[in-house]
Amino acid sequence: MIRYRNAAALAFAVLGLTLGKASAQTPWYDLPAVKELYEKAREEKQVVIWAPVQNEVDWIQPVFSKRFPGIAIKGTGDLQAATKLIAEARANRHSVDVWQNSLGGMIEVQKRGLFAKVDWQPYGVRPGNILFEGEGIAVHNFVYSTLYSKAFVKDADVPKSWDDLLDPKWRGKMVAQDFLFPRLMGFLAVKWGEERTEKWGRAMINDQKLLITNAPRESFLKTGERILSIGDSISQSYQYTESGVPTGYTIFEIVPAVQFMISPMKNAPHPNAARLLAIWQASDEGMEAREKTVYGFSIRPGSRSHVAAEVEKAKATVVLEDVATMDQRADFYKKFSGIIRGQ
């Protein structure tokens, strides 16, 4: 009898391990919660999504429909979306289902309690990607880098660190965008401290003759007038190359990354479709589709993007946009913007 009980216990233990392993390997789209959500979303027939720019939403329909047919994506790109969403809520009008933007861009809407709080884990969302205590999910990053023109910079000459940009050989050969450069400095200051970062920024502008502009940097890289673009994103390297300007990117010792996220609205007209679209974008499948179509990469822990692998291989320190450091970086941005204006 004792031998029988021991054998039965062992059999149940093995069965439990087998079932547990099978459950862990269940694709997220086959999870019962996701299947149930899709059926409800399909009854709603559509989902309205807003984002900062139009190309952030135009790519979604063709690839989303392969996984979840029968749901129309109505997307709008609008830099003033936050103001409009708040105004709509005050007027008790609700036309938007889901909104995606940078974490910083979501703050004012989140403060007003306009996002739905969701338990995302039954849908297979990684806990580390859940933001605002369930009111949003991380999707991709704006990964700051230094881009270089492949037509004018040899691979052997590519700088290896942020301090390498202070080498005299790059004097008069670099360009940066007036919006991005002080924000890049804000991220660097989180690790370097204000004093070192300010010294570096002033050296870049005064000694290295960094050109600060609001014009597209692509044209400078194309002509060779400037051959390094400081503080552009890795995504832009792919975009420039696609438009006929072969451009490479660097991964330095510190990798600043703005966090983009997606949140369903609390009073969404199509709440189930909103959640379904959000979990798809946060899935490995959705992230891979974004990479292939609009070159949006995630470098958060657990990401499968090749950029995340490159960052890990380089043993670089990632500075992710975070609510805890947002006020600090905003202060840095104000101070460092003065350097650009010659203060």
pLDDT of 24 reads 54
pLDDT at 119 over 70: yes
Least confident interval from 13-17, 42-46, 259-263, 319-323: 13-17
The CA distance from 47 to 97, in Å, is 6
Mean of pLDDT values over 149-171: 97
Is residue 48 within 8 Å of residue 74, measured between CB atoms? yes
Is residue 141 within 8 Å of residue 102, measured between CB atoms? no
Least confident interval from 14-23, 109-118, 171-180: 14-23
pLDDT at 20 over 60: no
Averaged confidence pLDDT in the chain: 92
Is residue 281 within 8 Å of residue 128, measured between CB atoms? no
pLDDT of 13 reads 45
Q: What is the pLDDT of residues 163-175, one digit of tens each?
A: 999 999 999 999 9
Question: pTM of the predicted model, to two decimals?
Answer: 0.89
**CA atoms within a 13 Å half-sphere pointing along the CA-CB vector of 46:** 9
Q: Give, as one character, the DSSP assignment of residue 162.
A: T
* C-alpha 262 chain-centroid distance: 10
pLDDT at 339 over 90: no
pLDDT of 327 reads 86
pLDDT at 19 over 70: no
Nearest CA to 41 out of 60, 25, 63, 64 is that of 64
For residue 82, name the pLDDT band (cuts at 50, 70, 90). Answer: very high
Q: Give the domains, in start order, of the chain with CATH numbers.
A: 27-140+259-298 (3.40.190.10), 142-257+310-340 (3.40.190.10)
pLDDT of 326 reads 86
| DSSP SS3 for 47 | strand
Q: What is the pLDDT of residues 227-237, one digit of tens each?
A: 999 999 999 99
Helices and strands: H and E segment counts in the chain:
14, 11
Better pLDDT: 3 or 74: 74
For residue 340, name the pLDDT band (cuts at 50, 70, 90). Answer: confident
For residue 125, name the pLDDT band (cuts at 50, 70, 90). Answer: very high
User: Can you spell out the DSSP letters for 218-237?
Assistant: HHHHHHTS--EEEEEEHHHH
| DSSP SS3 for 241 | helix
Least confident interval from 1-15, 69-83, 267-281: 1-15
* C-alpha 238 chain-centroid distance: 15
Q: What is the pLDDT of residues 256-293, one digit of tens each?
A: 999 999 999 999 999 999 999 999 999 999 999 999 99
Mean of pLDDT values over 314-329: 92
Per-residue tokens: 77: 């790109």
